[in-house]
Structure formats: C-alpha cells, structure tokens
C-alpha cells in the first residue's frame, strides 16, 4: 500500500517522499473514553481503510469522530487522493464543492450524515464500525502531492479553493510546533483536545497534522458543550492543550465549569477580545495563546492576547505591506499569497494588525472603520453578539450599513439610541435588527451570504 498513484497519475514514489507519520511504534496517536491508539495500530488501520476506498481522485471527509477523520484522511493521502474541505458541512456547501469535482466521493462514519435532509449524498462510503487492518511497510506520501484543498469560509464573499501539498503541510506543522512552544509538556507526548471540526483548516493543522507530523496525541471526539469539553480534557493522561475558538472559550468562561489542569489554550478563527483572554487565563490557570492565520496561508503568527497586542511571526515567514493588504512569503507556500489584512511592521519579527482595506468606509464624505464600529456596537451594555455588514449600493449609489444584534432584554430603539451616542449618525446601520442568534458556522465565523439572508428576513 505504500506505492500509490497521485491525482496526476504519477507514482507517489517519484521524487521526494516523507513518512505519513513518524515516531516509535508505541507512541500514542489518539486517546479518549475507549482507550488509546498507538502508531503501529493507527498505520494498520490506515492501510486497511485505504484498501476500501473507491478509485476516485477526490474525497469529501464527513467523519464526525476525529480519529476516524484522521484515519480516512491518511488513507486517502496514501492512495494519492485529495481530501476536499468545504467551508461548512451544509448540503449546499458540499454540493457546490463537488460540482467542481464531479469525480469525487464522500465518506463518513454514520449511516446518514447530517447533510442528508434533502436527499441522500451520492457516492457515499460509510466506514465500518470496526476499522479493517492491513500489515505492510510504513506508508509514505510524495512531498509534491496535493493532499487537500481547503475552501475559505465565505465571510467576505464566495469561498475560494486553496490546494495544499504534503510537503507544505509538513513544513507548516513544524512551524506550528514552534508556535506552541512553552504550551506543550516537556519529556512527554503532548495531548490535544480540540473543539474545532477537523474539516476546517485550523482544525486540520492543530488536530490532524499535529498527530501525523508533530508526534502529538489527539482526543478522538469533538466536544461542544462546556461539560463535554471538561470531560474530554479529564481523559488526557497529562495536562492537555485545549484547541478552541473565541466562541467556545467565552462559553467555557461564562459557564463556570471547572476544568482539569491544562498545559495551555490555543485559539483562532476569529479575533479574541483581550478581556476574554484575561478572564480565561484567570479562570483556568494557564496561558491563552492566539494564533493568526487563514485557509490560504495556514498559521502565520502568535501572541499572548491578554498581555500584548503585537503578533510574533513564525520562523521562515515574512510580510510585505501593500496598499491593499499584505504579501505573505513563507517556506510552506508555493508562491507569495496576498492577504486583505493591513499590517504595521515592528522590530524583531513582530507586527500589528490594522484592519482591512475593505473595512474602511466612506459615507457622505466621512470615514470610519467597520471593525471600530463593530466594537462600539458590542460595547453597548446588554449586547452579547452583533455583526455589521455594508450593503450593495442603493439607487443613489450609497452603500449603507446593516446590523444584526443579539441583545436579550433590549429593543431596537434602545440599541439604536445607544449607538447614536457612540458614533457619527451617518454610520448608523439601516436596518438594525434584533435576532435570537447570529448564523455563525462551526468555528464562529459569519458567512456573508447567511448574514445578508438573516437581515433580509428570508
């Protein structure tokens, strides 16, 4: 099974190839309530599942169980297949990605995945309850082989495809181990519990690639509620690293649930408020480290948000400011990537984020930042969540703002009046609508299309 064919039809053994997973045979790869899985057993199951996969070049991995996702991703990689990572696991997102890859198939770990409300997913392979095993040589994957295509969330427009090679993943994983330095235990295998889905690029980096290329063990599940997260953390034999998002971190802090000792907390996918970072550090007795990255670039930088506002770049990464964003140079990128974020470079490989060019607003000759307006809206007492979006031009060519606000106990007039006292009236959102919840995805992001649909009332 180690001699495989990649999507270009060339043997994966041509050119440089790296081990799928390195380390001693007995090192832990996964842990959880059912016990642990060591490397030699993991590789046997990877080879066994690889033999089950259909002869198609693209796979959409819908596994809910994180360990089974890991096995299926690795099996696809050694078969030379590319794992497609839609921006969400909604049926519409899956169908859209598969429309661009008609020779793809889906695989999962349940009889009917959650996206089958309309009709069964075509070309769906369900993994058996007991994963098959096959002996063989240590699997390798060609460094130049494309193993995944990640799609952006669509929070600023249409999702975009971003291919990733095995070599680029290996390089970025080495950088991520540096990003986590000081949070992982010395002299023992680091154990990770992640709340983010493995289908998201942040989840891929921190809970799929770390066990493969970083020698880390990952919890088999994806706990969601605070009590479930606490239970998963308690199953680690050493103080674990919690990989999460600001949405989950806020829920943990506000729940008051007690967590076992942690080696640290890593968070990403959305800006982390410094006050929340400080509250989490006080509540759980460990450092909260924020990671900055994107689907296009993977993780680029880190910071301790409770005590610093500047970011520190990871090794081998350089930023080049441009008028409309920032050019990213990195060893794991095949070519420089342009990010919409505007940065201020600082000495010592550090930088500050200064927003995005697309966030700069000009209405009636006055200027403001969409981000700043959002912070002022969230600062209103009683507002627990909110989002601002600039609409398309009206009949007069003016691009007005609209807002969706979660504020139990408040009314629209009260929120609008409080906001009027904090910003120039020309930037008051019209409409401003109170809603029960924002349509955030699994990682807490707000796809623009979903937000506009909510505001339109459709």
Its domain, for residue 404, covers 364-456
**Count of domains forming the chain:** 3
CA-nearest of 445, 1, 365 to 200 is 445
Q: Is 83 within 8 Å of 97 (Cβ atoms)?
A: no
Q: Specify whether 230 is located in the same domain as 345.
A: yes
Query: Can you give the pLDDT of all 458 residues of the chain as single tens digits?
Result: 333 333 333 344 457 999 999 899 999 999 998 789 999 999 999 999 999 999 999 999 999 999 999 999 999 999 999 999 988 777 888 888 999 999 999 999 987 555 444 446 778 899 999 999 999 999 999 999 999 999 886 555 567 889 999 999 999 999 999 999 999 988 889 999 999 999 899 999 999 999 999 999 999 999 999 999 999 999 999 999 999 999 899 999 999 999 999 999 999 988 898 999 999 999 999 999 999 999 999 999 999 999 999 999 999 999 999 888 899 999 999 899 998 888 999 999 999 988 776 677 766 666 677 777 888 888 888 888 888 888 877 666 667 788 899 989 898 888 988 888 888 787 888 889 899 888 887 777 777 888 888 888 75
Classify residue 26: in a domain, yes or no.
no
Q: Specify whether 55 is located in the same domain as 128.
A: yes
Q: Specify whether 144 is located in the same domain as 200.
A: no
Q: How would you classify the pairing of strands 325-330 and 337-339? A: antiparallel
Last residue of a domain, one of 297, 325, 355: 355
Classify residue 152: in a domain, yes or no.
yes
Q: Specify whether 245 is located in the same domain as 267.
A: yes
Classify residue 172: in a domain, yes or no.
yes
Classify residue 302: in a domain, yes or no.
yes
Q: Specify whether 374 is located in the same domain as 247.
A: no
Q: What is the CATH number of the domain that holds 383?
A: 3.30.300.30
Q: Specify whether 175 is located in the same domain as 139.
A: no
Q: What is the CATH number of the domain that holds 309?
A: 3.40.50.12780
Q: Specify whether 305 is located in the same domain as 420.
A: no
Q: Specify whether 319 is located in the same domain as 186.
A: yes
Classify residue 312: in a domain, yes or no.
yes
In sequence order, what are the residues at sequence separation of 6 or more whose Cβ sits closer than 8 angstroms to the Cβ of residue 11?
Answer: 3, 4, 5
Q: Specify whether 405 is located in the same domain as 423.
A: yes
Last residue of a domain, one of 306, 321, 355: 355
Q: Specify whether 290 is located in the same domain as 320.
A: yes
CA-nearest of 170, 142, 208 to 4 is 142
Question: 184 to each of 154, 261, 301, how far by Cα in Å?
Answer: 33, 13, 17
Classify residue 27: in a domain, yes or no.
no
Q: Specify whether 194 is located in the same domain as 326.
A: yes
Residue 395's pLDDT is: 63
Q: Specify whether 392 is located in the same domain as 328.
A: no
Last residue of a domain, one of 355, 385, 406: 355
């Amino acid at each position: 099974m180690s001699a495989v064919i990649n999507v270009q039809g060339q043997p994966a053994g041509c050119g440089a190839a790296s081990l799928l997973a390195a380390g001693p045979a007995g090192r832990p790869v996964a842990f959880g309530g059912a016990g642990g899985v060591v490397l030699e057993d993991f590789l046997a199951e990877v080879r066994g599942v690889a033999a089950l996969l259909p002869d198609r070049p693209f796979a959409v991995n819908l596994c809910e169980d994180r360990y089974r996702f890991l096995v299926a991703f690795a099996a696809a990689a050694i078969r030379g297949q590319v794992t497609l990572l839609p921006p969400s696991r909604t049926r519409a997102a899956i169908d859209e990605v598969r429309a661009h890859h008609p020779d793809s198939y889906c695989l999962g770990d349940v009889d009917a995945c959650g996206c089958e409300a309309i009709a069964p997913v075509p070309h769906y392979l369900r993994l058996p309850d007991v994963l098959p095993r096959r002996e063989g040589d240590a699997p390798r994957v060609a460094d130049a082989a494309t193993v995944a295509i990640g799609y952006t969330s669509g929070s600023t427009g249409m999702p975009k495809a971003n291919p990733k090679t095995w070599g680029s993943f290996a390089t970025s994983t080495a950088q991520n181990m540096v990003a986590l330095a000081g949070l992982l235990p010395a002299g023992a295998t680091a154990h990770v519990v992640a709340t983010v889905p493995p289908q998201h690029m942040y989840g891929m980096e921190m809970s799929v690639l770390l066990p493969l290329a970083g020698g880390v063990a990952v919890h088999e599940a994806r706990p969601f509620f605070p009590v479930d997260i606490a239970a998963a953390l308690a199953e680690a034999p050493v103080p674990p690293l919690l990989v999460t998002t600001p949405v989950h971190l806020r829920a943990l802090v506000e729940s008051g649930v007690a967590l076992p000792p942690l080696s640290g907390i890593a968070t990403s996918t959305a800006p982390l408020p410094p006050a929340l970072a400080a509250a989490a550090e006080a509540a759980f007795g460990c450092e909260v480290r924020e990671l900055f990255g994107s689907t296009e670039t993977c993780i680029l930088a880190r910071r301790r948000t409770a005590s610093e506002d500047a970011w520190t770049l990871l090794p081998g990464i350089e930023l080049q400011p441009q008028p409309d964003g920032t050019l990213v140079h990195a060893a794991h990128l095949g070519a420089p990537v342009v990010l919409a974020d505007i940065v201020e470079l600082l000495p010592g490989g550090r930088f500050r984020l200064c927003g995005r060019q697309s966030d700069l607003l000009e209405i009636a000759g006055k200027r403001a930042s969409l981000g700043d307006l959002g912070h002022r809206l969230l600062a209103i007492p009683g507002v627990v969540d909110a989002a601002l979006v600039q609409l398309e031009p009206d009949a007069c060519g003016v691009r007005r703002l609209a807002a969706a606000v979660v504020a139990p106990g408040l009314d629209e007039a009260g929120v609008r009046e409080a906001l009027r006292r904090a910003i120039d009236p020309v930037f008051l959102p019209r409409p401003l609508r109170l809603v029960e919840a924002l349509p955030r995805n699994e990682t807490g992001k707000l796809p623009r299309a979903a937000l506009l649909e909510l505001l339109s009332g459709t």
